Structure 1
């Protein structure tokens, strides 16, 4: 009887101790490996295509390719000259429309014009540039250039001797040809290789 009482008391004590005492598992010295976190992207990576998109987001956008402008040339039927670019097309087209205009001293209209009047009129209408009215003073408006460096639109000046002033001016076209208002033929195209213009050629100038 006494033995049964002792066993019952021990059982109650064990039950009470198990209620107030919590057994925690022993900690491992080696931490458990953590699961790999997915990369932070604007969208989930579920395919190789998604991975390519994610890499593209990290790459800087390539600079835009420079725009290549190809200038086309043109052919002037009235002059019989082909130009490599259309840069001076307006100049050439307008100047050639004056061919046949009679010479008239001190004027610059289609009814008649002198050499400096023709040049100043063309430059004002094509470029919006006001040049001096006389060929002599017009030379002061330009930058002098070598004959071998002449381009379409440059001015050519003439004088009869080193002691005389400039008396004539024209607009250079191409292939030694220039357009001008001649006292004998009005507005016309001539060549710098002609004896008169070859002997009296003074200088070439470029309007800056």
Structure 2
């Protein structure tokens, strides 16, 4: 009986110790009273260094745009161009700036009543065209009308200057007009000889002289 109690007591003691024992934990070693060091992953082996050459980095090289230069002219081309310019200058007539120069192309133009061109012109038309071209002054196409134009200033025979207008006529009034020139001459469109230059003391025109006017 005593033995039975001892066995029962021992069984209870073992059961109690089993219940109070620490649970088995992963990595815990009762023999050493602690946790075993966890296995670490194998040390990572360094990646093998590649001996390949680094990829060439493409660099965009910008080249400045070439400056477009005009083709150089050789000396012969320049000389040829200079000659051409001179020829053009000679071929282009210069505008006359003197009375004698302006009337020169008109000399010999036939008389035509009412005309105003080189195909035919009358005395007042001739004066009108020359005055407009040389002095920029617009006049009437009528000798008597020009004589009465108040823009003109009367000039005595002894004070005549180149460009003054000279008038001729008879008892009935003014019938002819011309432009005074240096050397005591005048240019006009004669009914018989067309555009011409005559002396002021011409035996036909001198007695018919009626006066002069200055418009410029």
Shorter-normalised TM-score: what interval? 0.5 to 0.7
Q: Give, in angstroms, the shift of residue 89 of structure 1.
A: 4.3
Q: Give, in angstroms, the shift of residue 103 of structure 1.
A: 0.2
The match for 1:179 is 187
Q: Give, in angstroms, the shift of residue 186 of structure 1.
A: 0.2
SS at match of 2:166: strand
Query: Is residue 2:139 matched to residue 1:126?
Result: no
The match for 1:158 is 168
CA distance in 2, matches of 1:91, 1:199: 25
The match for 1:205 is 213
CA distance in 2, matches of 1:193, 1:128: 29
Q: Give, in angstroms, the shift of residue 165 of structure 1.
A: 1.3
Q: Give, in angstroms, the shift of residue 95 of structure 1.
A: 1.1
Cα RMSD (Å): 1.3
Q: Give, in angstroms, the shift of residue 192 of structure 1.
A: 1.3
5+ residue gaps, structure 2: 1-95
Show the 5 A alignment for 1:29-44.
none
Aligned 8 A contact 2:178 2:187 in 1: yes
The match for 2:99 is 91
Alignment deviations for residues 72-93 of structure 1 (CA, whole Å, 9 cap, x no partner)? xxxxxxxxxxxxxxxx943220
Alignment deviations for residues 17-51 of structure 1 (CA, whole Å, 9 cap, x no partner)? xxxxxxxxxxxxxxxxxxxxxxxxxxxxxxxxxxx
Q: Give, in angstroms, the shift of residue 96 of structure 1.
A: 2.0
CA distance in 2, matches of 1:131, 1:138: 7
Query: Is residue 2:195 matched to residue 1:195?
Result: no
CA distance in 2, matches of 1:201, 1:152: 17
CA distance in 2, matches of 1:173, 1:165: 23
SS at match of 1:97: helix
Show the 5 A alignment for 1:57-72.
none
Question: TM (normalized to structure 2)?
Answer: 0.53
**Which contiguous aligned blocks of 4+ residues in structure 1 show a shift greater than 6 angstroms?**
none
CA distance in 2, matches of 1:192, 1:90: 20
Question: TM (normalized to structure 1)?
Answer: 0.55
Q: Give, in angstroms, the shift of residue 94 of structure 1.
A: 0.8
Aligned residue pairs: how many? 119
Show the 5 A alignment for 1:97-116.
97-116=105-124
Larger Rg: 2
The match for 1:135 is 143
The match for 1:7 is none
Q: Give, in angstroms, the shift of residue 187 of structure 1.
A: 0.0
